[in-house]
Structure 1
Amino acid sequence: MTTTAPPTSRSRRLLLALHDHPRRALVAVFLFVVVAGALGGPVAGALDSDGGFAPADSDSARAAERIEAATGLESSPGLVVLVDGTDRARGDAVADRLAGVPGVAGAVAAGRARDASSSLVLGTIEASAASEDVAADAIDAFDGEDDVSVGGGAVAGMQIGDQVGEDLSRAELLAFPVLLLLSLLIFGGRAALLPLVVGITTVLGTFLALSGINQVYGLSVFALNLVIGLGLGLAIDYTLFLLTRYREELAEQGPTREAVLTTMATAGRTVAFSAATVAVALVTLTVFPLGFLKSMGIAGAVVAVVAAVASLVITPAILGLWGAKLARRRTASGSEGRWYRLSHAVMRRPGAVAAVTAVVMLALAAPALRAEWSPIDATAVPEDLSARVVSDALAAQYDGTGSTPVTVAVTGDEAGASTLADGAATLPGVVEATPAQRLDATTWQVDLTVSGDAAGDDARRVVGEVRDLADATGTDALVAGPAAEFVDQQDAIGSSLPLAVALLVLLTLLVLWLMTGSVVLPVKAVVMNALTVGVSLGALTWVYQDGRFTGLLGYTPNGGVEPTDFLVAAALVFALSTDYGVFLLGRIKEARDAGLGERESVATGLGRTGSVVTAAAILLAVAIGAFSTSEISFIQQIGIATAVGVLVDAFVVRSLLVPALMGLLGKWNWWSPMWLRRLHDRIGFSEGGAHPAAYGETEPARTP
């Protein structure tokens, strides 16, 4: 039996209370779930479904605010209505009715299609109105009229938010039966209820926490997808790891208190470190000044912590309730399993295995190097929604009428605004420039029609040139519009990326050092995680940028990848790769601290966690892979990239690369400078009583 450091008196009392009074503990959990569901369940309707993909204080955002402050109206028409047919009177009638919708300041006819088969009506929303409510009222106003399609930015935002809710329901309906079946096969019998209870507690507990956070900082509705997928996945991972360890202790100690205490002192400690690595990786997304990324980072960090707490509270109660009934009828020694033999086979030729594996992973990651960024545009909206119908019609028949790519808000006098308008009209790519329009005593608006897509290359170039022109002429001008928002997004990501990467690496190194006491293992883990992230992002580029599997996945390619998806997927894959690395390293370290040799420790650790990690990876890939059923393409991208990364990490990195590199480095895996070693020992995170002796027996000299 493995020697472990006893829990502290406080944690021991808590564990024993949960174990000795399981029914009371589970009733308390049930009451918490009921309260969390009642208070946190409605969070979906309270979250933002629009914006968050550009900084709130960017030039484009301030330009829109400047126009709204001067006019009391939104800076561009939020409602675009497509009216089929050749009857002009019908278009005028639609405009009159649209103008009567509460929150619509005015509506005007805006021209006809090139083939005269339809006409457009543009509606401007009052700045003080809730755009989603106005969009819903506009759709209701024309409900049942087949010749009228209501679109525009406000409608697109509302329909995407509604679609996210539908996608969550569908993902749950698809994922839950599959997860339940797989849990029955992997956990076995009544033990399959453990991840279900922890998963429900995690998701609803996170909803409750996010409801409170949303009162202080407005979160994006897209974060709910992450909560569902990651919450279920981590709940399964943590409970599977705890249950597997308990079954080992059950075989050695029987259904005793000591078996539970040992389980929680070893596997429970690993779960805590795992949650910390996931949380610190995802919280680095909050460095970026984009609401979408901040929301994903906050939600991801919260769900990791809640999943760990739920697992560490509920599992001891379940173990106390059922005890020996959770044992498997057949148990096989990990040292005799196929993972044990595979590990030794890899370590017989560690250099060759490491080299080949790394080369293959680099080749799979190569497509990520040619990634091209694309904004979130109308292609993200499902084809059967009215916002997409209108957008496609605008692109095909109206040459972009209804959405001005570049809007300039000028503060100053008429001469300065006119000078800027005249200069902008001569810029390459500008098809038309309106004369400076006075909004109030000091604010003027210039609208530029630009060739190509609203956020395409031409429009983005014009944004930069207009800003340069304003600087050159000393004009106080701010640029708004889709292209300006995309340019501001890229600038914000580029300026924040070095800090985010530095924090990600440093925090991960810190947590892994606290766990292992080594400086080599954390660095190696970061490098391997980077390879896994590269493979997942390579798959994202290969599929979505290159337009593959469009029929299967049901998306419309736009020649690029949305950059915030890239960042969320990278953070998720990095976090989960570290997560599985913690599971494996924890068992290897424990075996080494118990006195096993270097290679034997690796083989034993992989033998005892190989099947657990791969099973957990499959279950988590199903939970997060359910994102791929989303009708919103940028949510799909996160699911596909994360599922690929998780499976590659479990089946390739942990099976081949980890034992190969650990076999190559041997005792140097555990090297640490003397002063760091003393600091680590003083902090007291050591797990096993054999740790000091093991250090003394295997630690190499500081100079090789």
Structure 2
Amino acid sequence: MFERIAELAIRRSRLILVVAVVAVALMGAAGAGAFGKLLGGGYDDPASQSSRAEEVIDEKFGGETNLVLLVRTSEGRVDAPAADRSGRALVADLKKDQNLENVISYWDTDSPSLRSEDGRQAMVLAHVKGEGTERDEHAKSVIDAYAGSYEDTLTIKAGGGAAVTSEMGKQSEEDLVLAEAIAVPLTLILLLVVFGSLVSALLPLVIGIIAIMGTFAELYFLGSVTDVSVFAINLTTALGLGLGIDYALLMVSRFREQLAAGASVDDAVRQTMSTAGRTIAFSAATVAAALGALMVFPQYFLRSFGYAGVGVVAIAAVSTLFVMPALFVVLGHRVNSGRMPWVKTNRAGTRAPMWGRLARTVMRRPALTALPVLAVLLLAAGPLLGITFGTPDERVLPEDANSRQVSAVLQADFAGNDDAALHVVLDRSVAKDPLQSYAVTLSELDDVVRVEASTGTYADGKSTPPGPANAALGRPDAQQLNVVSTLTPKSDEAQSLVDEVRNIAAPAGAHSLVGGTDAVLVDSKDSIAGRLPLAVALVAVTTFILLFLFTGSVVQPVRALALNLVSLGATLGVMTWIFQDGHLSSLLGFTAQPMDVSMTVLMFCIAFGLSMDYEVFVTSRIKELHEAGEDNESAVANGLGHTGRIVSAAACLLAVSFFAFGTAKLSFMQMFGLGSGLAILIDAVAVRGVLVPAAMRLLGRSAWYAPPFLRTFHARYGLSESGPQAVATPEPTPADESLYVKNSTEV
């Protein structure tokens, strides 16, 4: 297949490039509308009890409170004459707003729970209508209209779920712009350093642009038919640029190597496709398999990264396999044009003696060199023993974000946090006495401040008559009860309260559903934990099968999986130490909190996939040399000598794309960027440089073992580095080696 693609590129190179330009233009036109189709949120399981409770509340009670307006008087108390008049006018305006429903406030209920303990602040609760982008637009409209000063008497700040989602979306766009403003120029500079020529340095950017534009178009069409998270854009840009560089770097390096060895342009294209092209196809398959596992989760936040990840990998690979050889044919030896001033030789080989010497040193004393590295990685993984999980809330925003400030005030200055209340829904009409008995039982739970029901408000087993707000909690075919506590939202105690409320039997004949912020967290953790074994199994099995088909060995896949788990454990341990335990929080500017469960799963899949990317890069060259007759140790040393610089350069370039997100002000995006970048560097240096040669030396000939029946299977169905006869690349003389060391900018 790869030979046929090479021949097509040789015969129809200009046609392929014209088609590519037209395709990119069409994809760019479609992808421009992606941002309008993508949604915030998506952290909950649609089939969970909390989601079903939210659906019933939306259908029968006008929706859960998702907007809190914190109103403060400029002087005096909120029930002083001037503040009272302005407050009632504000509530009247809000009730007329077509974007809102279920508007409840202190001024029309006189509920003490909606007034701060010092009397200077009051809450207005409301539900923003709509779903997805429509709700986000409605929330922005309301916030823009009312936040700030009102009648020179009141000051208003917006909080609640809708406000948090709105601010997260806005902050995400700002973070993305800043990250790309940092990553793109740095990447171009590094590409010039790595390649030493302007033309070669620009080729990876071509593939990156195609991958990003194509995935934007994919997200636009998917966003038109299903829910897709806006944060998929961040992954698309980082991974599209990074993989474009990875794949193009491998192709350009192999092509230049063949040209330097005296091959014609056409023969260099053929050999490049039969070796590097085949490697890229397998690499893309392993990365896509890891990211595709995200689609087993019901949360569209995670599924969206699966959509974007598989799409960007596939488009990057396909464009590399078709567009890059066509560019080689058109450019020919001009691929080395625009040589940088510091490059003193045109030699374009990929051999890096340093990596070969490192491999030989490791293999002389495999245990002595590998054990210290392994010990450091296991020590770095230590914080995982104390890991806890949560979901994103206002604390991921900067401290000056309005919604975060509102949440802090509600917890500190109000008797219970209405915004974080548990919402209990009974699916049918319930008589007054059983409903009262149920509400009394709920109110007697530890840390519960009050329970609001249609029959009244209950605290410590005692009731007060119903007010205007209570009447809205009863329907002919359903009842809603709000359980307000003093507990910190998403704390272990708050999550335990969810279980306690769910364990209390509903009135006879009724079925209860418990929703609210803490219930969503409990259900999300349970949902992800339930699907995680399937996702891990899919990643492991598909990786094993692909690596077996690639190598013909059953030992190589096991070795690769084991080393990947070690490097991933170290990465996640360091992220736990930083973002959960709070180390470096003052430097990075975030608030320590439990690890975001969705982002941790995402980081695992991305880091695993990219580790397999470099695994295939290195193993392919080792296997090629082994099949050419070299013994195991020579194949490993020479294989790393040829690929070490490619892998290290690709890792640095890809890490820059991810590390740029370390500048984000959303803490979970910081974790995503820093964690992914760290995982890439650990894998490229510690694993590929030390642990792989040590493991290969200890395994010896058994590294390539497979049972006879699997060898027969692989001989028939496996893929090998066959194809046109490779052009021999002369081994460097001692003078050459000094030249390579001197000119380390040459790939």
Sort the TM-score into its range (normalised by shorter chain).
over 0.9
Q: Which deviations, in whole Å up to 9, do the C-alpha atoms of 1:292-329 show, x marking residues without a partner?
A: 11111221111111111111122112211221122483
Q: Greater shift after overlay, 669-678 or 388-397?
A: 388-397
Q: Greater shift after overlay, 119-128 or 98-107?
A: 119-128
Secondary structure at the aligned position of 2:228 is classed as coil
Does residue 64 of structure 1 match 2:41? no
Q: Pick from 13, 16, 19: which aligns with 2:7? A: 16
Q: Is the 8 A contact 1:594 1:690 kept in 2?
A: no
Aligned residue identity for 2:531 = S
Aligned residue identity for 1:207 = F
Does residue 187 of structure 1 match 2:195? yes
Q: Is the 8 A contact 1:420 1:475 kept in 2?
A: no
For 2:99, the equivalent position in structure 1 comes to: 103
Q: Pick from 582, 588, 597: which aligns with 2:616? A: 582
For 1:91, the equivalent position in structure 2 comes to: 87
Q: How far 1:21 moved relative to its partner? A: 4.2
Q: How far 1:678 moved relative to its partner? A: 0.5
For 1:567, the equivalent position in structure 2 comes to: 601
Secondary structure at the aligned position of 2:389 is classed as coil
Give me the whole-angstrom Cα distance separating, in 2, the residues matched to 1:42 and 1:466.
44
Give me the whole-angstrom Cα distance separating, in 2, the residues matched to 1:82 and 1:632.
26
Give the 3 Å change call, closer, same or farther, for CA 49–641 of structure 1 in structure 2. same
Q: Is the 8 A contact 1:101 1:141 kept in 2?
A: no
Give me the whole-angstrom Cα distance separating, in 1, the residues matched to 2:99 and 2:31.
30
Give me the whole-angstrom Cα distance separating, in 1, the residues matched to 2:15 and 2:724.
37
Q: Is the 8 A contact 2:256 2:348 kept in 1?
A: no
Q: How far 1:195 moved relative to its partner? A: 1.0
Give the 3 Å change call, closer, same or farther, for CA 299–77 of structure 1 in structure 2. closer
Give me the whole-angstrom Cα distance separating, in 2, the residues matched to 1:426 and 1:119.
26
Q: Pick from 48, 54, 79: which aligns with 2:44? A: 54
Does residue 137 of structure 1 match 2:141? yes
User: Structure 2: which 5+ runs fail to align?
Assistant: 77-82, 107-113, 340-344, 456-472, 726-747
Q: How far 1:522 moved relative to its partner? A: 0.3
Give me the whole-angstrom Cα distance separating, in 2, the residues matched to 1:78 and 1:142.
12
Secondary structure at the aligned position of 1:123 is classed as strand
Q: How far 1:684 moved relative to its partner? A: 4.3
Q: Greater shift after overlay, 297-306 or 593-602?
A: 297-306
TM-score (norm: length of structure 2): 0.87
Aligned residue identity for 2:693 = P
Q: Is the 8 A contact 1:365 1:538 kept in 2?
A: yes
Q: Pick from 365, 369, 373: which aligns with 1:349? A: 365
Q: How far 1:502 moved relative to its partner? A: 1.1
Q: Pick from 77, 82, 90: which aligns with 2:71? A: 82
Aligned residue identity for 1:74 = G
Give me the whole-angstrom Cα distance separating, in 1, the residues matched to 2:167 and 2:655.
28
Does residue 418 of structure 1 match 2:436? yes
Q: Which deviations, in whole Å up to 9, do the C-alpha atoms of 1:517-547 show, x marking residues without a partner?
A: 1000000100000011101101110110111
Q: Greater shift after overlay, 251-260 or 241-250?
A: 251-260
Give the 3 Å change call, closer, same or farther, for CA 177–663 of structure 1 in structure 2. same
Does residue 369 of structure 1 match 2:372? no
Secondary structure at the aligned position of 1:434 is classed as strand
Give the 3 Å change call, closer, same or farther, for CA 423–238 of structure 1 in structure 2. same
For 2:206, the equivalent position in structure 1 comes to: 197
Q: Is the 8 A contact 2:102 2:127 kept in 1?
A: yes
Aligned residue identity for 1:120 = M
For 1:119, the equivalent position in structure 2 comes to: 122
Q: Pick from 614, 619, 634: which aligns with 2:668? A: 634
Q: Greater shift after overlay, 391-400 or 217-226?
A: 391-400
Does residue 221 of structure 1 match 2:230? yes
Give me the whole-angstrom Cα distance separating, in 2, the residues matched to 1:198 and 1:332.
21
For 1:444, the equivalent position in structure 2 comes to: 479
- The CA RMSD over aligned residues, in Å, is 2.1
Give me the whole-angstrom Cα distance separating, in 1, the residues matched to 2:358 and 2:252.
24
Q: Greater shift after overlay, 127-136 or 179-188?
A: 127-136
Does residue 169 of structure 1 match 2:177? yes
Q: Pick from 312, 315, 331: which aligns with 2:347? A: 331
Q: Is the 8 A contact 1:99 1:105 kept in 2?
A: yes
Give me the whole-angstrom Cα distance separating, in 2, the residues matched to 1:122 and 1:76.
6
Task: Report 1:192-271 matches (<5 A).
Answer: 192-271=201-280
Give me the whole-angstrom Cα distance separating, in 1, the residues matched to 2:724 and 2:560.
24
Give me the whole-angstrom Cα distance separating, in 1, the residues matched to 2:205 and 2:217.
18
Give me the whole-angstrom Cα distance separating, in 2, the residues matched to 1:102 and 1:552.
44
Give me the whole-angstrom Cα distance separating, in 2, the residues matched to 1:605 and 1:656.
14
Q: Is the 8 A contact 1:421 1:446 kept in 2?
A: yes
Q: Is the 8 A contact 1:79 1:152 kept in 2?
A: yes
Aligned residue identity for 2:136 = E
Task: Count residues with an aligned counterpart.
Answer: 679
Aligned residue identity for 1:44 = F
Q: Which deviations, in whole Å up to 9, do the C-alpha atoms of 1:585-626 show, x marking residues without a partner?
A: 000000011111110000010001111101111110111122
Aligned residue identity for 1:99 = K
Task: Report 1:506-545 matches (<5 A).
Answer: 506-545=541-580
Q: Is the 8 A contact 2:422 2:518 kept in 1?
A: yes
Give me the whole-angstrom Cα distance separating, in 1, the residues matched to 2:454 and 2:442.
11
Q: Pick from 629, 634, 649: which aligns with 2:683? A: 649
Give the 3 Å change call, closer, same or farther, for CA 576–114 of structure 1 in structure 2. same
Q: How far 1:351 moved relative to its partner? A: 2.0
Secondary structure at the aligned position of 1:150 is classed as strand
Give me the whole-angstrom Cα distance separating, in 2, the residues matched to 1:59 and 1:267.
50
For 1:694, the equivalent position in structure 2 comes to: none
Give the 3 Å change call, closer, same or farther, for CA 127–642 of structure 1 in structure 2. closer
Q: Greater shift after overlay, 250-259 or 192-201?
A: 250-259
Does residue 406 of structure 1 match 2:441? no
Give me the whole-angstrom Cα distance separating, in 2, the residues matched to 1:676 and 1:585.
19
For 1:320, the equivalent position in structure 2 comes to: 329
Give me the whole-angstrom Cα distance separating, in 2, the residues matched to 1:554 and 1:465.
36
Does residue 462 of structure 1 match 2:497? yes
Secondary structure at the aligned position of 1:43 is classed as coil
Does residue 308 of structure 1 match 2:336? no
TM-score (norm: length of structure 1): 0.92
Does residue 624 of structure 1 match 2:658? yes
For 1:159, the equivalent position in structure 2 comes to: 167
Q: How far 1:336 moved relative to its partner? A: 6.6
Does residue 478 of structure 1 match 2:531? no
Aligned residue identity for 2:9 = L
Q: Which deviations, in whole Å up to 9, do the C-alpha atoms of 1:66-118 show, x marking residues without a partner?
A: 122212x1122434343343333333332222223222124333333333343
Q: How far 1:478 moved relative to its partner? A: 0.2
Q: Is the 8 A contact 1:91 1:119 kept in 2?
A: no
Q: Is the 8 A contact 1:532 1:574 kept in 2?
A: no
Q: Is the 8 A contact 1:418 1:436 kept in 2?
A: no
User: Structure 1: which 5+ runs fail to align?
Assistant: 1-7, 692-704
Give me the whole-angstrom Cα distance separating, in 1, the residues matched to 2:352 and 2:191.
24
